[in-house]
Amino acid sequence: MTTEKRRAPAGAAVLRGEITSAIRTAVMQELAEVGYGRLSIEAVARRAGVSKTAIYRRWRSKLDLVLDMVSAVAGRNIPLLDTGSLLGDLEILLHVMARALRHRLAAQIIPDLLAEAARNPQIAEKLQTALDDYQQAVGRILIGRAVERGELSPDTDRRAAVDLIVGPVYWRMAISRAPLEAAEVPRMAAAIVAALRVACLGPARDEVEV
């Protein structure tokens, strides 16, 4: 290819960032409103006040568009503060999750995409890696620190631990769709700590005492 004579695009021949971000927010809103299944490029374009071509110039298809959004959002990893105790760490994590799921958009988009992931391999892959990263981070860092401190047994099952930690918040906010008051977090955190302590003891062979 003799591209030597070519000069870089300039002037009006350059993607306008404002439009790109207008599309992005429109996609989020549309995704929340109708879900991935019914997401239409035309609706996105309408909502963004933009032509369809503007979208197709940036992303090859609807799937590409959504995949890009997902990786953009899921890419940023959560900071897991070290408060010095498992209980403290958990409270922070629960607060962060609750805060995230309190946003209307997130609370609608996340369950929707997770459901869609069950049937769309591309979305599943993108989402699953993000989810795995998240779970691993929680498992390794949060549980790992607790093990180092001696708060949990070294042979704690990381996956089971993640289920016990993340499950209740997600169920409460995304499925049951009941608000989680900040005041409830400490209690939930304490309950989870108790659960984690028991979970690493292995199968319930012993009788439980009051």
- Write out the residues near DNA by the rule CB under 7 A: 5-16, 19, 39-43, 49-54, 56-57, 61-62
User: Does 74 engage in binding with a second copy (CB under 8 A)?
Assistant: no
CB of 13 to DNA, least distance (A): 3
User: Does 105 engage in binding with a second copy (CB under 8 A)?
Assistant: no
Q: Which is nearer to DNA, 62 or 158 (CB)?
A: 62
Report what 199 binds from a second copy, DNA, none; CB cut-off 5-8 Å by kind. a second copy
User: Does 78 engage in binding with a second copy (CB under 8 A)?
Assistant: no
CB of 105 to a second copy, least distance (A): 11
Would you give the binding string for a second copy spanning residues 117-136, x where CB under 8 A is met?
-xx--------x--x---x-
Round to whole Å and give the CA distance between 112 and 47: 20
Report what 188 binds from DNA, a second copy, none; CB cut-off 5-8 Å by kind. a second copy
Round to whole Å and give the CA distance between 120 and 52: 24
b/e per residue, 11-45, with b = 16+ CB within 10 A? Answer: eeeeeeeebeebbbebbbbbbbeebbeebebebbb
The two tokens of residue 29 are 């809103």
Say which residues have a Cβ less than 8 Å from residue 30's Cβ, sequence separation at least 6: 39, 40, 43, 44, 47
Decide if 138 contacts 166 (C-beta within 8 A). Answer: yes
Query: Of 27-35, 57-65, 68-76, 140-148, which part binds a second copy (CB under 8 A)?
Result: 27-35
CB of 175 to DNA, least distance (A): 27
| Residue given tokens 């004579």 in the structure block | 5
